[in-house]
Amino acid sequence: MSDIAALSAVQASEAIAAGELDAAELAAHYHRAAREDELNAFTWVPEEPAAPGEGPIGGLPVAVKDLFCTEGIPSQSGSRILEGYRPPYTATAVRRLQEAGASVQAKTNQDEFAMGSSNENSAYGPVANPWDITRVPGGSSGGSAAAVASGAALWALGTDTGGSIRQPAALCGIVGLKPTYGSISRYGMIAFASSLDQAGPLTRDVRDAALCLRHMAGRDSADATSVGLPEPVELPTSESLEGIRLAVPQEFTGGEGMEPGVLEVFEASLERARELGATVESCSLPTAPYALSAYYVLAPAEASSNLARYDGVRYGMRVEEDELVPMYTHTRHDGFGPEVRRRILIGTYALSSGYYDAYYGRAQRVRTLVARELDEVFAQADFIVTPTSPNVAFELGAKTGDPLAMYLNDLFTVPFSLAGVPAISIPAGLSEGLPVGLQLAGPAFSENRVLEAAHALEKAIAFDASPARKVA
């Protein structure tokens, strides 16, 4: 088949099932694409393509974010402290895709321990955006997003703690889905913040995201927080928003802190939604502006606990010293990058005696209020819509010296992470020649409805992703 690069995952699966495409040919194409990648999107690519599996998605290669444990394959979470670590087991999300016939194409680059919004925090070097290689792809799943957008991967797995699937999807002009918290098992995901971490797909279109979610979601006895979805995931077909009520938070769309071009594309997307039959109304989320501050207390607090296990004793790198305490200290200092060390310190401080109630306790109360306010809006509207990111992809190095400016990239994504509800980013247009994402969020376990609405908007917007394609 001569046009392999143009096929979506759904189309490739259908072509294999119909005998029109050889699964080995597909695997070879994407293996070559990964080996020839010039964006630094991958941290590991096998010498030979993986053998195609059998099943409903048999023969489809999937690129996997570095923090998913994959048996016998380097799983380093973008960190020097786990350099070369090859786990003895495979994460449930990856295993379920393999059981459905998919194969691991390669491992993708990421911000260290998923802490970052630009993929510049990786111990294995920054990733470039295929739309403009002088700019960031977003983070922390930047390698996955860049690989899909450039055509080096058919589809990819990422994780989203505060926006780490949706934001890079927006900056790279692809689709990124964060499902309801607990719908996909976290077993085998190297943890950042356990009450927020969620796996999800990064894909070329909404139907591909649905297909990937269908085969990953479900209850897992190895993860006590997993709950699965109440109904099977269907491939969306809708091209209408008739009767759909969309709510636009006034706190996020006043233009403050948002690039004018992003606001312009967002407003054009709302007009497109109206043309499809939706009603668009303003809503209020009074606590939402405080969500980002709460997140940057809660997530580092959980990280300071989760990352305590990396001590140089059981696995990972070790700086050899004559005494135990210096070994701990030097191993952690040399093994963790600056941003990870910063967040460990923030989290430890927030949890320390005398500050717990002032910071961590207050942040938890904000989280509760955000979830409550979202529930109130969803009682009156079907979905909430916002831009995914307040800006388009910025230049590499532009914000590395200003952590607070970097954190503001999560402004629109964090509230939905705190509440654990599903949210998807789809490409909505261009500003300054760079992609702008539209975020659509719904109540918990409304994945099918979110996917249907996103599909209708995707069809109407008809975004052209071809300028980013590097692989023919």
Short-list 279, 280, 332, CA closest to 308: 332
Both tokens of residue 9? 């995952």
What distance in Å separates the CA atoms of residue 278 and residue 110, rounded to the nearest whole number?
Answer: 37
- Residues with active-site annotation: 65, 140, 164
Q: Which residue has the tokens 């070369």?
A: 84
Q: Where are the beta strands (DSSP E) in 278-422?
A: 279-283, 383-387
Cα 150–36–169 angle (5° rounding)?
A: 25
What count of other Cβ atoms lies within 10 Å of the Cβ of residue 133? 16
Contact 117, 166 (CB under 8 A): no
- CA–CA separation, 123 and 407 (whole Å): 19
Q: Is 366 helix (H, G, I), strand (E, B) or coil?
A: helix
Total Cβ atoms within 10 A of residue 6: 14
What is d(CA 425, CA 110) in angstroms, rounded to the nearest whole number? 19
One-letter amino acid identity for 91? A
217 secondary structure, DSSP code: -
Distances (CA, A) of 70 to 87, 98, 147, 250: 6, 11, 19, 43
Sign of CA dihedral 290, 293, 159, 445: negative
61-65: strand order across its sheet: 42-44, 103-108, 61-65, 156-160, 198-203, 175-178, 423-431, 434-441, 383-387, 245-249, 279-283
Question: In this structure, what DSSP letter does residue 50 have?
Answer: P
Grouping H, G, I as helix, E, B as strand and the rest as coil, residue 429 is strand
- The rounded distance, in Å, linking the Cα atoms of 205 and 190 is 27
DSSP secondary structure letter of residue 338 = H
Provide the CB-side half-sphere exposure for 345 (13 A, CA): 9
